[in-house]
């Protein structure tokens, strides 16, 4: 969704996402639906009029070309309308899918880093797949059928009034019943079930994920049965809800049909009078048009069918919207951070300790140091003392207490994109994306040339490996670096951040998983003028040539 769109998702924003596309689909659909009603009506009139003409002996003067052509036109319009509506509405639907996905992405980007993992993977996936699916169907399943129904009723009203003025009220009543009362009734009967069904399916999935993630532990302890029974119970509840919803849907359909039957009955009743103890049509009314009207009513009855189940889609998309809006995050306040930082001459860190949200931060010792251009610092301390936390906080990934001063001016580094431009941070976990090797590297420098890429790969000792790959740089890597070794993943991440050439380099265990040869290579690469950082802060339990020029800071 583009920037001027509202932050919160509403039904209105769904309609306005691509109003033109929706309008085209709607217009074509309207043409198709009305043509379907007209096809029945016109054919009925045509037949009656033709039969009448023949009976009256005026068959030869009867103009059968116009109605005949109209019948064919309506047949073609109906087909073209249905086809066009489906194509355009699905195009609109897929467009909606795209903008909603991007909307979710924007919310994820705006989520502060320490909250990103609040959402479990299963939960996010449910929202991304399940809820999105419900929402994008909304225009198609709720709005469009209702509009078609409304226009069908209006057309019926026009025809009805023309045939017999007194029909106006029955038709209006019928329309109100079909378009407003029945949906309202369905809502009363079933909306709470729709909601609980949605809630239940989310609950059921997280239960499934939770229980299955501990399957082996539960099995060997002989308690699986108990847990899986709970799962079955949830399923049983779901089944009852589904049954109830089905009953309501069918009931509403039944009522709708009955309503149509009543309307036809009333039409006849108003157009007939008792004559010689038998019923006869009022002389003022044209029988041919009455036939057309009754057939058109049957056509409108068909248009009403999808409205019966629209309440289900309405409820589901409402829940879907609500759940997606839970992901919503206001844009990070970038106002004071947006001005770019000056080039760094020195960096001063005082009483600095990173903090995770749930951990009492006083548990972690703080650190003080100052680093000037071309200096290196190695942070040391016992395992669990918070070395990684300190580095992550320094890089802006975590909150912290204490102060960071840049050229002796205090700066807030947490989640600050300007600070990030100055920093390259190698986290403890190697992050490899499920993309080509090249795309993974280009994340460091999007406009890097092939020569640059190979240069850095050569430096880190990866070139022979890449050259040996059948597709070279275009080799697709598995998610989380599943199909490459830990050392390769480590060096790829290093290559990526070296390409950035940021003045400050923060490395958390850069040598993890590397053999001593590779360690030397990495150290040499960091000495190269092209890649040598202005400031280097790192943590490593492996001794390396890097240590010779580094000041030690103890935690």
Q: Which residue has the tokens 């499920």?
A: 434
351/364 Cα distance (integer angstroms): 11
520/527 Cα distance (integer angstroms): 11
- Provide the minimum distance between the beta carbon of 162 and another protein in the complex, in angstroms, as a whole number: 17
- Provide the minimum distance between the beta carbon of 552 and another protein in the complex, in angstroms, as a whole number: 16
Burial class (CB in 10 A: 0-12, 13-18, 19+), 74: buried
- Provide the minimum distance between the beta carbon of 389 and another protein in the complex, in angstroms, as a whole number: 8
- Provide the minimum distance between the beta carbon of 11 and another protein in the complex, in angstroms, as a whole number: 22
Read off φ and ψ for residue 351, nearest 5 degrees: 45, 40
Closer by beta carbon to another protein, 411 or else 497: 497
- Provide the minimum distance between the beta carbon of 152 and another protein in the complex, in angstroms, as a whole number: 16
29/84 Cα distance (integer angstroms): 7
Instruction: Give the number of C-alpha atoms closer than 13 A to the C-alpha of residue 227, restricted to the C-beta side.
Output: 17
Closer by beta carbon to another protein, 122 or else 472: 122
145/305 Cα distance (integer angstroms): 9
Q: Which residue has the tokens 């918070």?
A: 386
Whole-angstrom CA distances from 190 to 95, 193, 440 are 31, 5, 49
279/259 Cα distance (integer angstroms): 23
Closer by beta carbon to another protein, 421 or else 474: 421
- Provide the minimum distance between the beta carbon of 388 and another protein in the complex, in angstroms, as a whole number: 7
- Provide the minimum distance between the beta carbon of 408 and another protein in the complex, in angstroms, as a whole number: 25
How many other CB atoms sit within 10 Å of the CB of residue 249?
18
Closer by beta carbon to another protein, 331 or else 467: 331
- Provide the minimum distance between the beta carbon of 541 and another protein in the complex, in angstroms, as a whole number: 4
- Provide the minimum distance between the beta carbon of 277 and another protein in the complex, in angstroms, as a whole number: 11
Closer by beta carbon to another protein, 128 or else 370: 128
Closer by beta carbon to another protein, 205 or else 532: 205
Closer by beta carbon to another protein, 130 or else 472: 130
Closer by beta carbon to another protein, 291 or else 371: 291
Q: For residue 191, give every residue at least 6 positions away whose Cβ sits within 8 Å of its Cβ, in sequence order, or none.
A: 311, 315
Helices (H), 141-223: 144-163, 168-176, 182-213, 215-220
Closer by beta carbon to another protein, 213 or else 408: 213
318/521 Cα distance (integer angstroms): 57
To 10 degrees, the CA torsion angle through 387, 389, 390, 394? Answer: 140
Please say whether the beta carbons of 161 and 286 come within 8 A: no
Please say whether the beta carbons of 555 and 367 come within 8 A: yes
Closer by beta carbon to another protein, 115 or else 373: 115
How many other CB atoms sit within 10 Å of the CB of residue 534?
19
b/e per residue, 520-531, with b = 16+ CB within 10 A? bbbbebbeeeeb
């Amino acid at each position: 969704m583009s920037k001027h769109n509202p932050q919160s998702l509403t039904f209105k924003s769904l309609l306005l996402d691509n109003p033109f596309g929706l309008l085209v689909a709607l217009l074509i659909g309207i043409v198709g639906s009305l043509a379907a009603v007209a096809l029945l009506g016109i054919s009925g009139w045509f037949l009656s009029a033709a039969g009448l003409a023949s009976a009256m002996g005026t068959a030869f003067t009867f103009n059968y070309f116009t109605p005949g052509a109209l019948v064919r036109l309506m047949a073609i319009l109906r087909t073209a309308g249905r086809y066009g509506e489906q194509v355009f509405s699905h195009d609109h639907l897929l467009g909606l899918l795209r903008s909603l996905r991007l909307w979710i992405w924007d919310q994820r980007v705006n989520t502060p880093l320490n909250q990103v993992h609040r959402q479990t993977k299963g939960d996010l996936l449910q929202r991304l797949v399940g809820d999105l699916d419900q929402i994008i169907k909304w225009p198609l399943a709720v709005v469009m059928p209702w509009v078609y129904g409304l226009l069908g009723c209006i057309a019926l009203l026009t025809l009805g009034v023309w045939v017999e003025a007194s029909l106006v009220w029955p038709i209006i009543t019928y329309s109100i019943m079909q378009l407003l009362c029945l949906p309202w009734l369905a809502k009363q009967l079933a909306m709470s079930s729709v909601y609980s069904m949605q809630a239940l399916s989310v609950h059921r999935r997280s239960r499934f994920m939770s229980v299955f993630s501990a399957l082996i532990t539960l099995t060997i302890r002989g308690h699986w049965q108990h847990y899986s029974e709970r799962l079955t119970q949830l399923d049983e509840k779901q089944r009852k809800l589904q049954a109830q919803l089905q009953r309501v849907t069918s009931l509403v359909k039944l009522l709708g049909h009955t309503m149509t039957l009543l309307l036809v009955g009333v039409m006849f009743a108003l157009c007939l009078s008792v004559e010689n103890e038998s019923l006869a049509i009022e002389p003022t009314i044209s029988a041919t048009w009455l036939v057309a009207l009754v057939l058109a009513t049957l056509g409108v009855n068909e248009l009403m069918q999808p409205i019966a189940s629209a309440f289900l889609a309405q409820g589901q998309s409402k829940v879907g919207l609500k759940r997606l809006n839970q992901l919503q995050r206001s844009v990070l306040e970038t106002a004071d951070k947006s001005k770019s930082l000056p080039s760094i001459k020195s960096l001063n860190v005082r009483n600095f300790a990173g903090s995770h949200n749930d951990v009492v931060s006083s548990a972690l010792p703080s650190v003080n140091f100052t680093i000037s251009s071309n200096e290196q610092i190695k942070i040391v301390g016992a395992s669990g003392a918070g070395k990684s936390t300190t580095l992550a906080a320094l890089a802006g990934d975590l909150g912290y207490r204490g102060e960071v001063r840049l050229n002796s001016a205090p700066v807030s580094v947490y989640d600050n994109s300007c600070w990030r431009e100055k920093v390259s941070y190698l986290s403890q976990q190697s992050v490899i994306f499920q993309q080509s090797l090249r795309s993974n590297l280009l994340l460091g420098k999007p406009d890097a040339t092939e020569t640059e890429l190979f240069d850095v790969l050569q430096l880190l000792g990866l070139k022979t490996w890449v050259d040996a790959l059948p597709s070279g740089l275009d080799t697709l890597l598995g998610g989380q670096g599943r199909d490459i070794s830990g050392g390769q993943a480590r060096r790829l991440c290093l290559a990526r951040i070296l390409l950035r050439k940021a003045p400050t380099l923060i490395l958390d265990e850069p040598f993890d998983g590397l053999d001593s040869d590779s360690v030397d290579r990495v150290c040499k690469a960091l000495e190269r003028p092209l890649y040598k950082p202005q400031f280097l802060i790192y943590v490593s339990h492996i001794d390396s040539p890097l240590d010779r020029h580094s000041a030690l800071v103890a935690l």
